[in-house]
Structure 1
């Protein structure tokens, strides 16, 4: 984050040190299953497979649980804002029921794992609420409560909450959970190793050749041969089924700080109003007198917003609603929404017999990632799963069911593909940049992404994302180049911060 903010980054990363690094492989390896990605979906899948006796290697481009999972708000809930009334209309009552059952079983499974492994991860049972302050939202909430109840959740419509401000109404679902996601996943990784699994960090996979076996190639040129491959990289780095046409990335901001424990909500809350506001609290160290309030919102497409202003707006909202709040942390996370509101979990493409994918969790990747791990493990074992068809990436009819969402996303992407390639009529020059600023400009006839660091040094990289060529934009608050088409993110020097890109931005001479 921007040092000017005076706040620390992700609380989860700060309070769960990663321990000893797991170095990349030094030579070619052969395993039964290779899992690409060390977040919730990847580690959950690897752990389930190892428990079934499979020889598994996890290949993580950075550090375990330090990407999206390390920056979540850490709710384990089957109440996903307003999803059930939508599913009832687009997937029918049975589709909504299967969604609720699969997500609920994931939460219960996580609780069993915590108990079995004795994981100290601040596990707390809590109720989940989707609320509205405006009376205009009550009808929608009543419909959601009815749909969630029909789907099998213990859901009800209520008007009273523990929030320190009035609400017009809320959907309440009991027996959900909140926890420290990184402590949970690092414990899972330790148990995976004890069971014979292998973890490789700082290992970016850049190529996949499907076959028997499949062959992965890392950025260091190492070959990993595996009978089966799972792509759990949040946004798929390999997209043989053109899933990028059905996924739209969004970033979301988080501010957190200490508040007197008597004023901290013990349940979990979210509203779609005001560009989303999500609220919960967590234990804060060993001090029982305070809790950490975590407030999330202000979502936007990467590369399209003044992020500092959005952080300020979110912090102001949190301070106004929760008196006595002292902000200590701020960070951002990134999610991918599918066009039909259902994650894509299963075979990577129609012709794949040995490659699987888990993506499109729409901001609910903790319960979704646990569900995905169990589903993919069952599919590899040839077991039937009631909700496999619901999540199948090969499913037909998504465009028909959610045509507006699909067309809106494709229109936005097309605008960048075409509009960003038109030469600008005017623009800044390198000498115009203040320390900490970045801008896309023409330099020597080339479109470059130019950044001036705090010491005044200029550096330039190609402005075209290495994924599919969209032009990046600068996020000053996080000091990153971001692709508005598919969400790839790069450091000022062009190195990859987040996929789906697997190659850095090329350096340019000024």
Structure 2
């Protein structure tokens, strides 16, 4: 199964250098996705010197694999938020999200960035009568929160719905084209951007100091950690965040079959739909869904279900692109944007966007730039990572930690789909117990065996194999690794230990001369 993102293929961008030596700036931003780059842009145009450090390529991680809906209608958020936190919280959420969406349009126009921005309505729809009642309540709550929302019983979709929330004034865009435009604008103003520069240590002194895996450093008065899942978690945010992964398929359709909007339903394991401009006057149908926990397996089957749904509902019989994205939900379903921990004075974080990273990423940039500049926003308290609401969060937190505990213990006791290395076919991977240790073993298409420790280097859970993306994934906190053990996605910053293989292909001794122990990020082991 070929995996590639439409956004990355159609906007490749230019490379940026690896950080070497030492750099001093006003603000250092760790993470080059939409949250990090939006923050860097706002600070740069405010006159501050900024350095962005990205572990891989800028705007190519989660942001390069999004669905790219620029919407303030986030499934069923307003009814839930109004009930749990009150009407004012819902109004602040709506204002902050809509402001972010409109800010993208203004910024793109100001900079002359052609990012395929298309104004379209957004819909949350239901096919069952039971879900339709939830949708009706959401329409009322969204309208009371200040959005131009209405409950409708029909939609432009090519199949009947039992009801839908319709919100006007939303948009869809090409996230890479937009962010590459921001990069050109900020570097022209003096911002520094570094790729393949993984940050592994943060010293919150005066000033702060960041260190990369290669030993290079950045000194800055303020630091923003915008790595999707925080690689530095001094406030134990990982105990209040749950990771899920969703799959995306995209297929060209005739322009006349474009439903002309953005659509999502909570039914069938999530189904999200939008289109984008394509070649020869056609549209690219983009369908997202099949939400699952990283490392739980079965990604190939999930892709098949999603493709079958796209073919049945839209006649999309030729899949041109497949990719996947990862998101974090907080226990109270609101992002964490603000000071990194209760004692932080110059360290900030942006995370927990719950699948709505486009508006939340831009919102984070606006909010963090204001906080660093000594200003405030009406919704600062709403998103403050230091908040804790025991009554609202106790149940989700206990459920989340119970799930982590089950994986931490149960995955060490259970057996995989095969018993030995000899049972693995080409393109297959499994966690096997060899020589008393859990080994993550993969056989490539040529028959060669790749073996690494199955113990995640973040906090020691056992990874699982993703058969569609050919990756090892941690079910506890979402770290992802290539078959050679290298880090693809945090919070882990250190690779899985490589293991040698004997003549029969069985994993053997530790092949990595250097590196940390199986458990604990380098940041944590260094204090």
TM-score (ref. length: structure 2): 0.94
Deviation at 1:325, TM superposition (A): 4.2
Asked if the contact 1:18–1:64 (Cα under 8 Å) also holds between the matched residues in 2, the reply is: no
Q: How does 1:110-509 map to 2 (within 5 A)?
A: 110-285=104-279, 287-288=280-281, 290-323=282-315, 325-397=317-389, 399-422=390-413, 424=415, 428-509=419-500
Report the equivalent of 1:25: 19
- Is the alpha carbon distance of 1:426 and 1:306 closer, same or farther for their aligned partners in structure 2, counting shifts above 3 Å? closer
Q: 1:60 aligns with which of 54, 59, 64?
A: 54
* Contact 1:259/1:326 (<8 A) preserved: no
| Conserved 8 A contact 1:18-1:63 | no
CA distance in 2 between counterparts of 1:141 and 1:30 reads 51
Deviations 1:376-423 (A, max 9, x none): 0111111121000000000021x4213332222111111112222337
The gaps in structure 2 that reach 5 residues or longer are 501-506, 508-527
- In structure 2, the residue matched to 1:101 is 95
Match of 2:525 in 1: none
Write the distance in 2 (CA, Å) between the matches of 1:220 and 1:192. Answer: 25
On the 8 A contact 1:33/1:229 being kept in 2, the answer is: yes
Give the C-alpha shift of residue 367 in structure 1: 0.2
Q: Is the 8 A contact 2:416 2:430 kept in 1?
A: no
Distance verdict in 2 for CA 1:425–1:309, change over 3 Å = closer
What do the CA deviations read for 1:424-465 (whole angstroms, capped 9, x no partner)?
599511111101111111222221111111100012101000
* Residue aligned with 1:326, SS: coil
SS at match of 1:234: coil
- The SS at the match of 1:327 is coil
Q: Distance in 1 between matches of 2:412 and 2:435?
A: 16
| Structure 2 Cα separation of the partners of residues 324 and 121 of structure 1 | 25
- SS of 1:216's equivalent in the other structure is strand
Shift of 1:498: 0.6
Q: Mean alpha-carbon deviation: is it higher for 135-144 or for 107-116? A: 135-144
**Structure 1 gap ranges (5+):** none
- Secondary structure (helix, strand or coil) at the match of 1:402 reads helix
Write the deviation string for residues 127-149 of structure 1: whole angstroms up to 9, x where unpaired.
00000011111211111011101
Give deviations 1:113-171, integer Å, cap 9, x for gaps: 01001111111001000000111112111110111011000000001111000000000
Distance (whole Å) between structure 1 residues aligned to residue 369 and residue 234 of structure 2: 21
Q: Is the 8 A contact 2:431 2:441 kept in 1?
A: yes
Aligned to 1:421, the other structure's residue is in SS state helix
RMSD value over aligned CA atoms? 1.2
Task: Give distance in 1, aligned partners of 2:411 and 2:256.
Answer: 51
Paired with 1:184 and 1:162, the residues of 2 have a C-alpha distance of: 28
SS of residue in 1 equivalent to 2:345: coil
Asked whether the 8 Å contact 2:416–2:431 carries over to 1, the reply is: no
Counterpart of 2:4 in structure 1 is 9
TM-score (normalizing by structure 1) = 0.97
- Encode CA deviations 1:355-393: one digit per residue, 9 max, x unaligned: 000000000000000000000011111112100000000
SS in 1 for 2:81: helix
| More displaced 10-residue stretch of structure 1: 116-125 or 426-435 | 426-435
Q: Is the 8 A contact 1:85 1:144 kept in 2?
A: yes
Partner deviation per Cα, 1:274-297 (whole Å, 9 max, x = no partner): 000000111003x22x10000000
Residues 213 and 225, structure 1, Cα contact 8 Å, conserved in 2: yes
TM-aligned CA deviation for residue 31 of structure 1: 1.1
CA distance in 1 between counterparts of 2:466 and 2:25 reads 40
- Indicate the larger mover: 476-485 or 442-451: 442-451
| Equivalent pair of 1:77/1:176 in contact (CA under 8 Å) | yes
